[in-house]
């Protein structure tokens, strides 16, 4: 069986989430994607590679350039995933812990 | 790093379970759910009403630039301090509909505690709408941010 990357892992990373939202607006070349970040081109390439392996992004050849666009199939799949929902509760509960520790020390 | 908050959402089921261990005594964990001014702080929403008792009800509202962006309400069916809250929850103006929540509070040690939240939706589809929402919200936020940046360049 071919080992497939964990989609959870793919969208858990903030840089990769930003890449997804950039590409959601329009298909972009790797260079255009990298221009949005301060990271090295290699780092961004690695993120793009992971997103492609997870079938979130797909390549399209336009003339001499390769453009990346969202893979509708992968995106539909990803929407079902619970990581952002989990993250929302995790943030809330972290806040709860902070609020209550402060509340406790006030007494 | 181990994830502190865990979600169990089995395929094909209309419920999910959220568990979390807190670095707080049981008493404080429960208090955070009981008192409006504390709940407000961690939920990040205004509490319009919270009657922490059996047959009590509650309402939350969040506004942004004067517009209501989130409204939720529900009824409390069971309220046993430091043990259990059973309540309904409904986010207004969404297709999720009303959900039933069982919150169980447990002591682990004198300074740690656990919350288990079982949430039951009307159907598998209703649960799916809920799960997708924060993801779509995240994408929309990123879009809005981009639009703001783009329009400021014009």
CATH number at residue A22: 1.10.10.10
- Which segment of A66-75, B31-40, B70-79 scores lowest on mean pLDDT? A66-75
Residue A73 lies in a domain: yes
Residue A54 lies in a domain: yes
B148 vs B55 pLDDT, higher one: B55
Distance CA A59, CA A82 (A): 26
Query: With an 8 Å Cβ cutoff, are B32 and A100 in contact?
Result: yes
- Which segment of B9-18, B33-42, B112-121 scores lowest on mean pLDDT? B9-18
Query: With an 8 Å Cβ cutoff, are B134 and A84 in contact?
Result: yes
Query: With an 8 Å Cβ cutoff, are A85 and B131 in contact?
Result: yes
Number of domains in chain A: 1
Q: For residue B91, what pLDDT is reported?
A: 92
Q: Which residues of B3-39 are buried (b: 16+ CB within 10 A; e: fewer)?
A: eebebebeeeebbbebbbbbebbbbbbbbbbbebebb
Query: With an 8 Å Cβ cutoff, are A95 and B44 in contact?
Result: yes
Residue A94 lies in a domain: yes
As a whole number, mean pLDDT of residues A3-31 equals 78
Residue A99 lies in a domain: yes
- Which segment of A5-14, A26-35, A36-45, B78-87 scores lowest on mean pLDDT? A5-14
* Residue from A93, A94, A102 to probe the interface with B (highest B Cβ count within 10 Å): A93
B129 vs B62 pLDDT, higher one: B62
Q: For residue B138, what pLDDT is reported?
A: 62
User: Taking CB atoms and an 8 Å cutoff, what residues of chain B touch A97?
Assistant: 22-24
User: Taking CB atoms and an 8 Å cutoff, what residues of chain B touch A98?
Assistant: 42
Query: With an 8 Å Cβ cutoff, are A25 and B23 in contact?
Result: no
> Domain range holding A82?
7-106
User: Taking CB atoms and an 8 Å cutoff, what residues of chain A touch B6?
Assistant: 86
Question: At B151, is the pLDDT very low, low, confident or very high (cuts 50, 70, 90)?
Answer: low
Question: At B34, is the pLDDT very low, low, confident or very high (cuts 50, 70, 90)?
Answer: very high
Residue A42 lies in a domain: yes
Residue A18 lies in a domain: yes
Chain A closest-CA separation from residue B28 CA (Å): 6
Residue A1 lies in a domain: no
Termini Cα distance of chain A: 58
Residue A2 lies in a domain: no
Mean per-residue pLDDT of chain B: 88
Q: For residue B129, what pLDDT is reported?
A: 82
What part of B 80-119 touches A (C-beta under 8 Å)? 115
Q: pLDDT tens digits, residue range A48-103?
A: 999 998 888 999 999 999 999 988 777 666 655 677 788 889 999 999 999 999 99
């Amino acid at each position: 069986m071919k080992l497939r990357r964990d989609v959870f892992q793919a969208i858990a990373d903030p840089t990769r989430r930003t890449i997804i939202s950039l590409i959601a607006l329009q298909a972009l070349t790797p260079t255009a994607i990298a221009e949005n970040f301060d990271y090295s081109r290699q780092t961004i390439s690695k993120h793009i590679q992971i997103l492609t392996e997870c079938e979130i992004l797909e390549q399209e050849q336009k003339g001499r350039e390769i453009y990346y666009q969202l893979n509708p199939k992968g995106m539909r799949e990803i929407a079902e995933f619970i990581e952002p929902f989990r993250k929302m509760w995790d943030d809330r509960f972290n806040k709860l812990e902070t609020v209550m520790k402060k509340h406790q020390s006030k007494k | 790093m181990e994830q502190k908050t865990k979600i169990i959402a089995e395929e094909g089921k209309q419920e999910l379970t959220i568990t979390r261990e807190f670095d707080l005594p049981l008493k404080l964990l429960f208090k955070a759910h009981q008192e409006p001014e504390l709940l407000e702080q961690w939920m990040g929403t205004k509490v319009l009403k919270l009657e922490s008792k059996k047959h009590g009800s509650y309402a939350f509202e969040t506004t942004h630039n004067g517009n209501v962006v989130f409204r939720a309400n529900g009824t409390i069916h069971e309220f046993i301090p430091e043990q259990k809250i059973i309540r309904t929850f409904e986010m207004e103006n969404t297709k999720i509909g009303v959900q039933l929540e069982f919150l169980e509070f447990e002591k682990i040690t004198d300074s740690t505690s656990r919350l288990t939240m079982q949430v039951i939706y009307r159907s598998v589809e209703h649960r799916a709408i809920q799960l997708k929402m924060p993801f779509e919200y995240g994408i929309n936020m990123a879009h809005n941010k981009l639009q703001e940046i783009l329009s400021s360049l014009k």
